[in-house]
């Protein structure tokens, strides 16, 4: 006899679904009530197993008729093994010999790097424990959550001089303007910071015009300087601001002369009030981010601003990079709209990018624009 199983939120829904799909031929055999998900998303569920009787015909007049209300056999865990063979509805188990391949599939599918995967494997895998697939995934998720580090301190108390460094075209200028709006629009107004943008990017045609348009439209004070001397003269005026967002030039730091010029200018800023942040695009390969990190070796970076998360599906590359250099995450941007497309990095937001797990995280981190209220 063939058994069919249906899982629904409760017994009545499962029965209704069986009847609507298979009509009156449904004969319930077993019922099992259980919970799905994990502590994050625990939900009750009911699984029924049933078989179908043939319709009554002239050739087959002895078909079993339904006898009033059917009472399914309740399945308990001790009966599980036998019934599993019959209907295959017990939780899927992960055999230790397959667990490494499963972990690699999940993490590679999310763009995690090899070193991260190796570390996760040694932390999560065990040779002698049999896990249900849900518990196994949960262990991997716990590892991922533990490996996420967020720069809450810079978010709550940004430094007076916030310098954003990063490769050409990564979104530095756009992101700085979003950050300027965030801190100048805090609710209540007494907590708003007096914010200015300082552009050191006077080497590329159109660079200043771009930031000037943004700042004019959004009423943000803008300063520009082209050299060390200019900057030391400006410091007096900048003194009255709580937060000065420093936009750096969009040239590769491989260009030695420009890199040196930038370094010389930045050295004018008061050390104790200055912090450096690295902008990386979520679609960059981890190798490219590592290379950029090496090139900026002479700066002590505080944390990472991740741009363009709307242009990729996965963020394992970012988490691997963040972990390997011990650099926490600060902001994430997901579009060109100023100021909306800026979000404080958070575990929930990062989990919402994970793919391939049984749990659906996409709804967890539906990003709201970051605001300071």
Q: Give the one entry of Mg ion, ligand GTP, none that residue 311 binds, where binding means its C-beta sits below a cut-off of 5 to 8 angstroms depending on kind.
A: ligand GTP
Least gap, CB of 284 to Mg ion (angstroms)? 16
Burial of residue 24, with CB atoms counted within 10 A of its CB: 0-12 exposed, 13-18 middle, 19 or more buried: exposed
Query: For the chain, percent helix, then strand, then coil, each to nearest 5?
Result: 40, 20, 40
Nearer to ligand GTP, 158 or 166 (CB): 166
Radius of gyration of the chain (CA): 29
**What residues between 339 and 368 interact with Mg ion by CB under 5 A?**
none
What residues line the site for ligand GTP (CB under 6 A)? 166, 168-174, 201, 207, 250, 307-308, 310-311, 333-336, 341
Nearer to ligand GTP, 9 or 368 (CB): 368
User: Residue number with the shortest CB distance to ligand GTP?
Assistant: 250
Nearer to ligand GTP, 29 or 309 (CB): 309
Least gap, CB of 203 to ligand GTP (angstroms)? 10
Nearer to Mg ion, 170 or 231 (CB): 170
Least gap, CB of 322 to ligand GTP (angstroms)? 18
Encode burial over 28-64: b for 16+ CB neighbours within 10 A, e otherwise: bbbbbeeeeeeeeeeeebbbbbbebeeeeeeeeeeee
104, 119 in Cβ contact below 8 A? no
Nearer to ligand GTP, 72 or 166 (CB): 166
143, 257 in Cβ contact below 8 A? no
Q: Give the one entry of Mg ion, ligand GTP, none that residue 352 binds, where binding means its C-beta sits below a cut-off of 5 to 8 angstroms depending on kind.
A: none
Q: Give the one entry of ligand GTP, Mg ion, none that residue 171 binds, where binding means its C-beta sits below a cut-off of 5 to 8 angstroms depending on kind.
A: ligand GTP
Nearer to ligand GTP, 294 or 336 (CB): 336
- Give the x-and-dash track for 160-189 against Mg ion (CB under 5 A): ------------xx----------------
Query: Does residue 250 touch Mg ion according to CB under 5 A?
Result: yes
Nearer to ligand GTP, 32 or 284 (CB): 284
Least gap, CB of 353 to Mg ion (angstroms)? 26
256, 282 in Cβ contact below 8 A? no
Cα 14 versus chain centre, distance: 34
Least gap, CB of 243 to Mg ion (angstroms)? 18
Q: Give the one entry of ligand GTP, Mg ion, none that residue 151 binds, where binding means its C-beta sits below a cut-off of 5 to 8 angstroms depending on kind.
A: none
Q: Which of 103, 151, 143 is nearest to 123 (CA)?
A: 143
Nearer to ligand GTP, 204 or 362 (CB): 204
Least gap, CB of 255 to ligand GTP (angstroms)? 12
Least gap, CB of 219 to Mg ion (angstroms)? 20
235, 198 in Cβ contact below 8 A? no
Nearer to Mg ion, 200 or 329 (CB): 200
Least gap, CB of 346 to Mg ion (angstroms)? 26
Q: How far apart are CA 72 and CA 8, in angstroms?
A: 15
Q: Which residues share a beta bridge with 50?
A: 4, 28
According to the 3-state scheme, what is the secondary structure of 152-174?
HHHHHCCCCEEEEECCCCCCHHH
Q: How far apart are CA 238 and CA 232, in angstroms?
A: 10
Least gap, CB of 265 to ligand GTP (angstroms)? 15
Q: Which of 4, 12, 323, 300 is nearest to 163 (CA)?
A: 300
Helices marked H in the chain — which ranges?
Answer: 11-22, 80-87, 96-109, 114-124, 133-147, 152-156, 172-184, 207-218, 228-238, 256-266, 286-295, 316-324, 347-351
Residue numbers at the binding site for Mg ion (CB under 5 A): 172-173, 250
């Amino acid at each position: 006899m063939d058994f069919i199983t249906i899982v629904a939120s409760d017994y009545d829904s499962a029965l209704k679904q069986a009847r609507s799909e298979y009509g009156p031929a449904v004969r319930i055999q077993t019922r099992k009530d259980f919970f799905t998900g994990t502590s994050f998303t625990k939900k009750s569920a009911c699984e029924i197993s049933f078989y179908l009787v043939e319709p009554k015909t002239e050739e087959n007049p002895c078909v079993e008729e339904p006898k009033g209300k059917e009472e399914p056999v309740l399945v308990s865990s001790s009966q599980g093994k036998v019934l599993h063979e019959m209907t295959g509805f017990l939780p899927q188990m992960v055999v230790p010999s397959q667990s490494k391949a499963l972990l690699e599939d999940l993490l590679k599918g999310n763009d995690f790097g090899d070193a991260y995967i190796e570390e996760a494997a040694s932390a999560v895998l065990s040779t002698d424990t049999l896990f249900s697939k849900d518990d196994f995934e949960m262990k991997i998720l716990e590892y991922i959550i533990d490996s996420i580090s967020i720069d809450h301190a810079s978010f709550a108390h940004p430094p007076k001089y916030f310098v954003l460094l990063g490769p050409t075209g990564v979104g530095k200028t756009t992101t700085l303007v979003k950050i300027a709006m965030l801190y100048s629009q805090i609710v209540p107004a007494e907590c708003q910071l007096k914010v200015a943008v300082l552009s050191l990017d006077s080497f590329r045609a159109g660079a200043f015009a771009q930031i000037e348009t943004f700042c004019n439209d959004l009423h943000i004070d803008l300063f520009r300087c082209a050299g060390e001397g200019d900057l030391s003269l400006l410091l007096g005026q900048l003194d009255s601001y709580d937060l000065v967002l420093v936009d750096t030039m969009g040239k590769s730091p491989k260009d030695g002369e420009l890199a040196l010029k930038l370094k010389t200018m930045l050295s004018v800023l008061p050390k104790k009030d200055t912090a450096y942040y690295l902008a990386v695009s979520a679609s960059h390969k981890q190798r490219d981010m590592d290379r950029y990190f090496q090139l900026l070796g002479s700066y002590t970076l505080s944390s990472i601003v991740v741009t363009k998360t709307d242009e990729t599906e996965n963020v394992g590359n970012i988490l691997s990079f963040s972990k390997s250099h011990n650099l926490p995450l600060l902001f994430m941007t997901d579009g060109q709209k100023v100021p909306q497309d800026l979000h404080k990095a958070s575990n929930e937001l990062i989990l919402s990018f994970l793919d391939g797990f049984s749990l659906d995280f996409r709804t967890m981190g539906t990003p709201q624009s970051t605001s300071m209220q």
